[in-house]
């Protein structure tokens, strides 16, 4: 199965992506993690995008497209995957379509997680993420607390409130999200790939609704794999 997850920050995209990975054995592809990795490694791309990420702005499309293209052109390229955070703009969607076509791959569905802005802001204030590059998992003190306070369940690192999760930054990120998402979704709606799922329910219910939405596909995307 090949999926794209769309949703504002705080919609629980990362959590649902993780569940889809375990349920269907997919490769997780998170551009947020990949870009933070480029920053940590001090690559040219990393140096260029660091201030943008800190301000909650999007990295330039050509740079993100290139990071994703490198992965898909590599020897162990993913064939069954869930995209978390890419494509995020219409122009990225067009570049991703072309890349997939070149690789003889096609998308099965675009899951659109919907949630009001104020709920996003409320949720994000409780978000704590693992700073480890190998890990990168995010918890939430309100909805998904780590087993030991402030420690990552997987690797034990001390969890942090990321700069890009601070309220002012979140409002800016939401602004960017709305500005970019309409045209992205219309593009995928035209291709009849979009499955809208409310992200205000508890995590387990959202996951069940995603599965149901995927099964509702006329070709039975979830049943097929
Ligand atoms: P995320 O972890 O997906 O919330 O991404 C964190 C930050 O990385 C975003 O606020 C953006 O600055 C940047 N980023 C991640 N994915 C993309 C993308 N597809 N296009 C542009 N910027 C991105």
Q: What is the pLDDT of residues 26-66, one digit of tens each?
A: 999 999 999 999 999 999 999 999 999 887 788 999 999 99
Q: Which of 5, 67, 72 is nearest to 34 (CA)?
A: 67
Give the contacts of 185 (CB within 8 A, at least 6 positions apart). 6, 110, 112, 194
Q: What is the pLDDT of residues 93-126, one digit of tens each?
A: 999 999 999 999 999 999 999 999 989 988 887 8
Query: For the chain, which domains are there?
Result: 2-115+172-224 (3.40.50.300)
Residue 223's pLDDT band (cuts 50, 70, 90): very low
Atom of ligand 1 nearest to the CA of 87: 19
Indicate if 127 belongs to the active site.
yes
Distance 173 CA to ligand 1 centre (A): 9
Q: Give the bridge partners for 2, in sequence order.
A: 81
Q: What is the three-class DSSP state of 221?
A: helix
Indicate if 13 belongs to the active site.
yes
């Amino acid at each position: 199965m090949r999926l794209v997850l769309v949703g504002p920050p705080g919609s629980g995209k990362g959590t649902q992506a993780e569940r889809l990975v375990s349920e269907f054995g997919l490769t997780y592809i998170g551009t947020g993690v990949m870009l933070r990795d480029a920053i940590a490694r001090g690559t040219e791309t990393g140096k260029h995008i660091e201030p943008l990420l800190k301000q909650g702005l999007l990295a330039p499309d050509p740079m993100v497209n290139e990071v994703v293209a490198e992965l898909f052109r590599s020897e162990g390229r993913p064939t069954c995957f869930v995209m978390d955070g890419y494509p995020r703009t219409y122009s990225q969607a067009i570049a991703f379509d072309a890349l997939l076509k070149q690789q003889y791959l096609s998308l099965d569905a675009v899951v659109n997680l919907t949630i009001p802005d104020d709920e996003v802001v409320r949720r994000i204030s409780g978000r704590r993420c693992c700073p480890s590059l190998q890990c990168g998992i995010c918890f939430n003190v309100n909805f998904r607390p780590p087993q030991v306070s402030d420690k990552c369940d997987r690797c034990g690192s001390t969890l942090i409130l990321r700069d890009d999760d601070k309220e002012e930054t979140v409002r800016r990120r939401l602004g960017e999200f709305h500005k970019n998402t309409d045209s992205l979704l219309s593009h995928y709606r035209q291709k009849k790939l979009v499955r809208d799922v409310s992200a205000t329910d508890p995590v387990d219910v959202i996951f069940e609704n995603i599965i149901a939405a995927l099964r509702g596909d006329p070709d039975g995307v979830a049943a097929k794999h």
